[in-house]
């Protein structure tokens, strides 16, 4: 059986790889490639957020009754990351390499902490509590 944990953790790793590709392009001052890679990273990360916020979180909240707990915190952190993505976009437009790497370091730390909370706690809770809904949740996330 597939698990929410394995599915979404795998997606975290894919986003991490896109982020590393972006940082490498910026380090080379390849601004055109950096923009392509930023667009890909933003698209992939926002898709990940959508899978969680539109499918997994609502199902988890409905089944568990927990609406003020972990999913609320994860949504707040998603919003913080969205703001940092906007700052990265501005830095690329200005070709401000130094500021870009300051913002990207903040984003990397936030993503690592966020992913650890999801992977070590929330996803395991979801797999355990959602039981027979897990396969449907994964199908619905794939369909987005």
pLDDT tens digits along 86-112: 999 999 999 999 999 999 999 999 999
Has this prediction a pTM greater than 0.85? yes
Q: List, in order, residues 6 or more apart from 15 with CB less than 8 Å away.
A: 41, 44, 45, 48, 111
Task: State which residues form the domain around 74.
Answer: 4-143
Alpha-helical regions (H) of 28-144? 31-50, 57-64, 70-94, 97-117, 123-130, 134-143
- Are 44 and 15 contacting, i.e. CB atoms less than 8 angstroms apart? yes
111-121 pLDDT, tens digit per residue, is 999 999 999 99
The CATH number for 79's domain is: 1.20.120.520
Task: Give the number of domains in the chain.
Answer: 1
| ∠ Cα 124 130 132 (to 5°) | 125
């Amino acid at each position: 059986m597939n698990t929410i944990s394995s599915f979404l953790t795998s997606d975290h790793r894919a986003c991490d790889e896109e982020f590393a590709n972006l940082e490498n392009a910026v380090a080379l001052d390849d601004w055109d490639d950096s923009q392509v890679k930023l667009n890909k990273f933003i698209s992939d990360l926002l898709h990940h957020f959508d899978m969680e916020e539109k499918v997994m979180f609502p199902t988890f909240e409905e089944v568990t009754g927990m609406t003020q707990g972990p999913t609320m915190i994860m949504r707040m952190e998603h919003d913080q990351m969205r703001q940092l993505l906007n700052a990265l976009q501005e830095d690329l437009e200005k070709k401000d390499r130094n500021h870009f790497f300051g913002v990207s370091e903040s984003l990397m730390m936030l993503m690592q902490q966020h992913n650890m909370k999801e992977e070590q706690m929330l996803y395991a809770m979801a797999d355990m509590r959602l039981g027979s809904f897990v396969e449907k949740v994964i199908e619905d996330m794939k369909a987005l």
